[in-house]
Amino acid sequence: MAAPGKTAIYPLQILVNYWELKPQRLATKLNQLMRQGITHIASFVPWQVAENDISHSLTKFLQMLADRKMSATLILSPEVGVHALYGGLPKDLAKNSEIQARNRDEQPAVSVLPPRIFAFPSLHAKEFTTRYHGFLTKLDGMIGDLGRTQPELLESLQLVLTGSFFKYYRPASGSQLAAFRGANGDRSNAAELAFRAELDQCANLREFMAGQGIVPKAKENEPFFRAQFQTNAEEHFRIAQSRQVRKRSVGVDVAQAELFTPEADPSLAYSNLFQLTARGMPDFPAFDRMIAEAATRQAMVGEARAAPVLHWTGFGPFTRLTDSEKQYLILKSLLLLGSRGGGLLLDEEEWFSLSNAFRKRVELFAETLLARELELETKAFCLTGHLWSDGKAVAQPGGSAAGGKDSASLFWPELRLTLDTQARLIASPEALAWEEESKIVFVESNVILTVEKWRKLVAWAEAGRVLVISKQQPMSGAVRADFEAAVRTRTKLDLNIGTRYFVYGAGEGKLVLFEPIPSSRPSEWKRFVASMLSLAHATPEMGANDPRIDLVCLRRGLAQGSGRAGVFVFNGSRSPVSTEIRFENEVAISDLSTVLSRLGGNGDPEASDAAESNRFELETPPCGVLPIAVNGLGEAGREKRIAGNLAGLTSKHAEEAASSELAGFSTGDDFSGIFK
């Protein structure tokens, strides 16, 4: 496996925690890994270990890597699934109930995962952040010193910073129906103080003081500002930690990631409890669902994307799954997250417990993903106030769901149903710039449009895209004035398909303003969302007729718009499933593994064994993954395929005519050479 490039995350990271092994064992382990072709590993750097690193184990580890020309990714942020008590946090901090995080039920937010069930500290607590920054400064100093004295040790080092515990500040009880249901985030004293301070700041901003905009300190507006506060706090945390490690360790690769550990997720807390206390079976379907949650949420750090990485631990319920279940989850995680610039973090012993054939297959896909030969397209964005909260619409008197003050997710559940993993949830408009092919953004009703956000959204839409917002969208006074001036002067289309909406021209794009409808009319809402997707040419190109099947479509050669894709058919159920896969137009399908292994050879790798139709019947085994190559997807792909077929036919007819009319002509001659 190759080392990642600058700030890129290699899709498959093998976890070997250097601090778990004494030097001799570590050396033996690294030698074993090299013999098996692994030259890059990942390791957590638990705070509790690094604070007391008397034996300078990290420096020795880096020396061992350099001696073997290996490279490593070090994950510095506090995380779960670390093989240390309290997630590797200093015990005095972890046990201090004064600085514990509180979920929205004002209870401790808990990680139910070995080696210890513990309550998360609040990342807002000053005592925590001050000490954490001190730890990062010490690490930065150590790495900076190495950079001066032994720069060769840092050449193949990558530091990774993550979003840490924020996404886990949710109650287990409220996460059972849907992992991120409800208005989540830290409600500890420290968080509340910080929230009030931010609210005061907003109230004093000119853009909120002017005009008819949303009032920051009005009680009914608190949910919107709270969502905004959570998002801002997470970004500030990330930026602050990034600054601490860039002071002296200049030139070292520092990447941002969003690390998901499904086994530690609150939605798995009760299943984990059962698994721990009764040796119950792991909750495989819940693990399967969490992969899509991780793949569809895009965290940002300023204008940079945090690469989504999924971590399967070497200590939790994942280890109790069967080999077939593990392989399914590993492949799905790798494909969905690797195709978005992220990847998979897997314990080394778990990796080598799997068959050689499977590991080779995974490595082939990892290389393909790293080379960006397979990419997950984003058809539609959904901008929300807080990435780790999905609300359900709360009906106001009068029954309007979309205008309800407590409503959060109107679009997201529908987009997930319609587009599955081709929909992307974001909390920052900066994410829009990263995926050119997406043509529409839906703005959830819990997003406060500030001047900066509004201008970014409009600029994006004006380049030929669609922006969908509510007539009752919360916005600052300055944006309200700007917005009303804009819609007053533009011509509009007034349409009603159960939901009344207005379409305005915005540069080369469109602004769609809709009127909220009662929550009792979900079919009309579905029709509206479908209509908007159609307006933006963002409708799904395929579907399966069995809900047990997940289809993941990864574009091949996205930049060229070639209409070629790798479609992976996932069956996470316990029985074989026969399903019909329908495409919106005729396509040719063949075995993807064969195609990928033929790439780089001569001729068309998909020529000989492709079947053509717009419907295919496929049987997928239980915990099975079927990879199929599809050619002719989408309008451009269909036209290209037809043109290719016609060109082939024309050439064949010309050769037949020449053979019959021209004496001495042979099809083996260089026909085209005559015309040079």
Binding footprint of other proteins on the chain (CB under 8 A): 17, 20-25, 83-85, 107-108, 110, 112, 114-119, 172-173, 176-177, 269-271, 273-286, 314-315, 319-325, 347, 349, 353, 548, 573-575, 622-623
Cβ closer to other proteins: 39 or 176? 176
Least distance in angstroms from the C-beta of 604 to other proteins = 37
Cβ closer to other proteins: 7 or 57? 57
Least distance in angstroms from the C-beta of 363 to other proteins = 20
Any alpha helices (H) in 125-279, and if so which ranges?
126-149, 189-203, 206-209, 222-244, 269-278
Within 2-107, strands assigned E span: 12-15, 40-44, 71-75
Residue keyed to tokens 């020795």: 60
* Alpha-carbon dihedral sign for residues 494, 495, 496, 500: negative
CA pair distance 416, 387, nearest whole angstrom: 14
Amino acid letter at 299? A
Least distance in angstroms from the C-beta of 567 to other proteins = 24
Least distance in angstroms from the C-beta of 177 to other proteins = 6
CB atoms within 10 A of CB 5: 11
The strand pairing partners of 161, in sequence order, are 256
Cβ closer to other proteins: 33 or 269? 269
Q: How far apart are the first and last CA of the chain?
A: 46
CA pair distance 114, 665, nearest whole angstrom: 77
Least distance in angstroms from the C-beta of 616 to other proteins = 24
Q: Kindly give the interhelix angle for 356-370 and 323-338, rounded to the nearest 10 degrees.
A: 10
Q: What are phi and psi of 300, to 5 degrees?
A: -125, 155
CA pair distance 87, 47, nearest whole angstrom: 9
Cβ closer to other proteins: 320 or 598? 320
Cβ closer to other proteins: 276 or 626? 276
Cβ closer to other proteins: 84 or 618? 84
Cβ closer to other proteins: 171 or 632? 171
CA pair distance 333, 263, nearest whole angstrom: 14
Least distance in angstroms from the C-beta of 566 to other proteins = 26
Least distance in angstroms from the C-beta of 343 to other proteins = 22
* Alpha-carbon dihedral sign for residues 630, 636, 639, 640: negative
Least distance in angstroms from the C-beta of 268 to other proteins = 9
Pairing between β-strand 549-556 and β-strand 375-376 as defined by DSSP bridges: antiparallel
Cβ closer to other proteins: 116 or 247? 116
**Chain centroid, CA 373 distance in Å:** 18
Least distance in angstroms from the C-beta of 38 to other proteins = 17
CB atoms within 10 A of CB 89: 25
Least distance in angstroms from the C-beta of 313 to other proteins = 10
Q: What are phi and psi of 304, to 5 degrees?
A: -100, 145
Cβ closer to other proteins: 316 or 516? 316
Cβ closer to other proteins: 42 or 369? 42
CA pair distance 580, 649, nearest whole angstrom: 31
Cβ closer to other proteins: 422 or 620? 620
Least distance in angstroms from the C-beta of 458 to other proteins = 41
Least distance in angstroms from the C-beta of 530 to other proteins = 25
Amino acid letter at 202? C
Please give the helix or strand (H or E) that residue 513 lies within, else none.
Answer: strand 509-514
With beta carbons less than 8 A apart as the criterion, state whether 424 and 438 touch.
yes
CA pair distance 17, 523, nearest whole angstrom: 51
Cβ closer to other proteins: 283 or 444? 283
Phi-psi region of 7 (alpha: psi -120 to 50; beta: other; left: phi over 0): left
**Chain centroid, CA 281 distance in Å:** 27
Least distance in angstroms from the C-beta of 273 to other proteins = 6
Cβ closer to other proteins: 289 or 527? 289
CA pair distance 224, 408, nearest whole angstrom: 9
Least distance in angstroms from the C-beta of 61 to other proteins = 15
Q: Tell me the chain's radius of gyration from C-alpha atoms.
A: 27
Cβ closer to other proteins: 318 or 528? 318
With beta carbons less than 8 A apart as the criterion, state whether 492 and 499 touch.
no
Please give the helix or strand (H or E) that residue 366 lies within, else none.
Answer: helix 356-370
Cβ closer to other proteins: 96 or 531? 96
Instruction: Examine residue 115 and say whether the peptide bond preceding it is cis (omega within 30 degrees of 0).
Output: yes
Least distance in angstroms from the C-beta of 24 to other proteins = 3
Residues 6+ apart with CB under 8 A from 497: 524, 527, 528, 531
Per residue, the 3-state secondary structure of 249-260, as one string, reads CCCCEEEEEEEE
Least distance in angstroms from the C-beta of 96 to other proteins = 13
Q: What are phi and psi of 227, to 5 degrees?
A: -60, -45
Cβ closer to other proteins: 24 or 491? 24
Please give the helix or strand (H or E) that residue 346 lies within, else none.
Answer: strand 343-347
CA pair distance 414, 499, nearest whole angstrom: 15
